[in-house]
Amino acid sequence: MMIKPRHFILTALLLCTAVLPGSSPAWKPESKEVTSADYDKYEYRIPMRDGVHLFTSVYIPKDHSHKYPVLLIRTPYSVRPYGKEKKRRLGPSGLFMQEKYIFVYQDVRGRFMSEGTFVNMRPMHNHKKNPKAVDESTDTWDTVDWLVKNIKECNGNVGIWGISYPGFYSSCAAVDAHPAVKAISPQAPIADWFWDDFHHHGAFFLPHAFNFLAVFGQPRPKPTTKWGKRFSHGTPDGYKFFMDLGPLSNVNKKYYHGNIHFWDEITNHPNYDYFWQERNLLPHLKKIRPAILVVGGWYDAEDLYGTFATYQAMEKNSPGGNIRIVIGPWRHSGWASSSGNHLGYIWFTTDPTPSEYYRNNIEFPFFQYYLKGKGRARPAEATMYITGSNEWKTFDTWPPQNTVSSTLFFAPDHQLSFSEPSTTSYDEFISDPAKAVPYTELITTGMSAQYMTDDQRFAGRRPDVLVYQTPPLEQDITFAGKLMADLYVSTTGTAADWIVKLIDVYPDDFPDFEGNPPTIHMGGYQQMVRSEVFRGRFRNSYEHPEPFVPNKVTFLKFPLQDVLHTFKKGHRIMVQVQSTWFPLVDLNPQKYVDNIYLDAKPEDFIKATHRIYTGKEHASRIEFRVLK
């Protein structure tokens, strides 16, 4: 028997969507298809308060019988194509182009055709203390002010959106927002780069940072319409490429040659010092006035932290604010760039697909309501897709209140138990940086998006990966909200990383999905649900790291990020623990050095024996909450 993705729990989805707010957009399309040809394009250089001009493309409907709201996106990734006669697909989705908005695209300060100097995650200023200072909030304010005063077709309302880095700029727009800004949607927004994208609890996501900065980080001495030259690895095998690289101090010697300024800043600031702290946007997200729709994906390999942190900071620091969140079963930007009906070999609902449902029933009505006054529906406080059971559900709060706390303990014989073991024991493995555990079976030079749902059997069969699992479940159980790892560990070295993976183990007789290749079988599939890495040197402070004392039992506690997943009856819950995850995470030498990026020498990369302790006074465990 094969499960057909298009019919997979369709009944449950229909029952769920029938009660979700906004399930029928208050909008009817025009009889003819509207394209960018129905818009006139203008290019402006909008002045900022310090005299710098930002290159801005404006698309205005040729139909001048109405006034229209503005939808603005500010980006470091280029507003191309450049030239008044060259046009692009407009809006977050085609619905907006049909309905007609004024679409505005802007190169941020110092990128592509805009003047000024680009600063990664430009620090925010206190504008009351320093009213002449510029940052992304003031640049947005100045842009919006110019648009509403100079674009006569504007109805006075402005919406702002963006995904990933543009999501960060969207969040910045909410700080001391211009009165014309009525709605903002930060989507997969960066929040704090010591926790997003390149860093996870101090561990460095190597291929993601290296590949991104090799192009994005190239100097731009003057305005340009062109991207920098793409990097060539010389091999499709990223594991081999990064293993051959050796210590990260070789990056400049072999490849960057000091030309990538932000790489040098990263490697000169391995700890959470002033450099990273001043780039933390979260403390500034307070007293938010516009309506906010934060959007993200459960399988976002880049900015899952930023999505939840942005929502939580706004919600906490904006009493009475209108802050909403949507999380679907998507990869990074998957709601805009794909149907979202599957990731890798894991299939979700397909009629409608998660992306179709979101775009038609949440995103479009959100902007319609706040910018055009059309429709009555507002999104729920939290609209979340439950993976595993594959259904949408709304909540009055996130994390949801209707949960109970629970714990899974690591137990003897590699068991995972809801009861604490009565005896103390330990499991150990030898971690060898020269034979690091790969993060995926794919041959790739980058960070695979589908690694977050990959089958983990390839890892669990290695001697340097510890595996703990429950018996088959007697009933469904849904993890909802915070997920914490509490580990009691020791190492014969003085430095170590700890990777914890929460896994859904399918029954051996689970039928194959029709949409998968015939060689992919789901029986016994070990689907990664959530995973995280913790660099042990930061166990007491991210600002002031310290070595492990060899062979001393040490407690580590760290979050695995939020989760909403149903482990179905007959499935097993598994946890894997390991210390390398290569090349997704850079190699930890396992011998403590002050600056792991610049000080580590080849001889510092040593084998070490790591232990996980179980039971009583050293009860390693996973803490979570169960949806009632």
382's tokens: 């939290």
pLDDT of residue 21: 35
Q: Tell me whether strands 102-107 and 53-61 are parallel, antiparallel or unpaired.
A: antiparallel
- Please give the pLDDT value at position 15: 32
- What does the block give as tokens for 594? 């002050």
**Predicted pLDDT at 2:** 53
pLDDT at 172 over 80: yes
297 in the same domain as 334: yes
pLDDT tens digits for range 441-479: 999 999 999 999 999 999 999 999 999 999 999 999 999
364 plus 417 within the same structural domain: no
Indicate whether 16 pLDDT > 70. no
**Between β-strands 68-75 and 154-163, what pairing exists: parallel, antiparallel or unpaired?**
parallel
> Is 215 part of any domain?
no
Q: Looking at the domain assignment, is residue 227 inside a domain? A: no
Is residue 155 domain-shared with residue 87, that is, in the same domain? yes
One domain, residues 168 and 303? yes
* pLDDT exceeds 50 at position 290: yes
Q: Do 361 and 421 fall within a single domain?
A: no
pLDDT above 50 for 540: yes
What sign results for the dihedral spanned by CA atoms 489, 491, 495, 498? Answer: negative
pLDDT in tens, 579-598: 999 999 999 999 999 999 99
Q: Are residues 452 and 559 in the same domain?
A: yes
What is the per-residue pLDDT for 4? 52
pLDDT at 218 over 80: yes
Contact 197, 165 (CB under 8 A): no
At residue 314 the predicted structure's pLDDT band, cuts being 50, 70 and 90, is: very high
Q: What is the pLDDT of residues 553-583, one digit of tens each?
A: 999 999 999 999 999 999 999 999 999 999 9
Q: Please report the pLDDT score of residue 26 as a whole number.
A: 42
Could you give the percent of the chain with pLDDT greater than 70? 95
What the block records as the tokens of 310 is 């942005």
Tell me which long-range contacts 229-237 makes (C-beta under 8 A, separation of at least 24). Answer: 231/255, 233/445, 235/445, 236/443, 236/444, 236/445, 237/443, 237/445
Residue 591 to residue 442: CA distance in whole angstroms: 30
Residue 268's closest CA among 594, 495, 625? Answer: 594
Q: What is the mean pLDDT of the chain?
A: 94
DSSP line for 142-187 = HHHHHHHHH-TTEEEEEEEEEESHHHHHHHHHTTT--TTEEEEEEE
What sign for the dihedral angle of Cα 506, 5, 325, 191? positive
258 in a structural domain: no
Q: How far apart are CA 142 and CA 52, in angstroms?
A: 11
DSSP structure class, residue 32: S
Please list the residues that pair with 513 across neighbouring strands.
3
For position 127, what pLDDT does the model report? Answer: 79
Q: What is the pLDDT of residues 138-169, one digit of tens each?
A: 999 999 999 999 999 999 999 999 999 999 99
Whether residues 286 and 428 fall in one domain: no
Residue 254 lies in a domain: no
Q: CB-side exposure of 560: number of CA atoms within 13 Å? A: 31
Note the pLDDT of residue 19. 35
Do 470 and 603 lie in a common domain?
yes
Q: Amino acid identity, residue 494?
A: T
**Domain final position from 395, 426, 458:** 395
Question: Which phi and psi (to 5°) does residue 505 adopt?
Answer: -95, 120
Q: Is residue 475 part of a domain?
A: yes
**Can you give the CATH number for the domain in which 603 is found?**
2.60.120.260
Close Cβ partners of 369 (under 8 Å, ≥ 6 residues apart): 375, 376, 377, 378
pLDDT for 438 equals 98
Please give the Cα distance from 1 to 570 (Å, whole number). Answer: 17
Mean pLDDT of 60-86: 96
Predicted confidence at residue 489, as pLDDT, reads: 98
Residue 454 lies in a domain: yes
Number of domains in the chain: 2
Question: Which pLDDT score is estimated for 31?
Answer: 56
Confidence class of residue 63 from pLDDT cuts 50, 70 and 90? very high
Same domain, 507 and 610: yes
Q: Are 615 and 597 in contact (CB under 8 A)?
A: no
Q: Are 54 and 107 in contact (CB under 8 A)?
A: yes
Helix H or strand E segment including 476: none
Q: 271: closest CA among 533, 534, 576, 594?
A: 594
Which of 363, 395, 427 delimits the end of a domain? 395
DSSP letter, residue 255: I
Whether the predicted pLDDT of 233 surpasses 80: yes
- Exposure on the CB side of residue 42, measured as CA atoms within 13 A: 14
Last residue of a domain, one of 395, 420, 435: 395
pLDDT at 30: 54
**In the predicted model, is pLDDT for residue 25 greater than 60?**
no
Indicate which CATH number applies to the domain containing 292.
3.40.50.1820
Per-residue model confidence (pLDDT) at position 3: 56
Question: Measured between alpha carbons, how far is 353 from 507 in angstroms, rounded to an integer?
Answer: 26
Element (H, E) at 501: strand 497-505
Rounded to a whole number of angstroms, the distance between the first and last alpha carbons of the chain is: 32
Domain that holds residue 9: 2-192+279-395
The model's pLDDT over 191-210, given as tens digits with 9 standing for 90+, comes to 999 998 999 999 999 999 99
Q: How does DSSP assign 541-600, residue by residue?
A: -SSS--PPPTT--EEEEEE---EEEEE-TT-EEEEEEES--BTTBPPP-SS--SSTTTT-
542 and 610 together in one domain: yes
Residues 353 and 431 in one domain: no
Strands (DSSP E) found in 188-322: 199-200, 203-204, 291-297
- Inter-residue contact 590 to 581 (CB < 8 Å): no
Note the pLDDT of residue 93: 94
Same domain? For 366 and 453 the reply is no
β-strands 425-431, 608-614: how paired? antiparallel
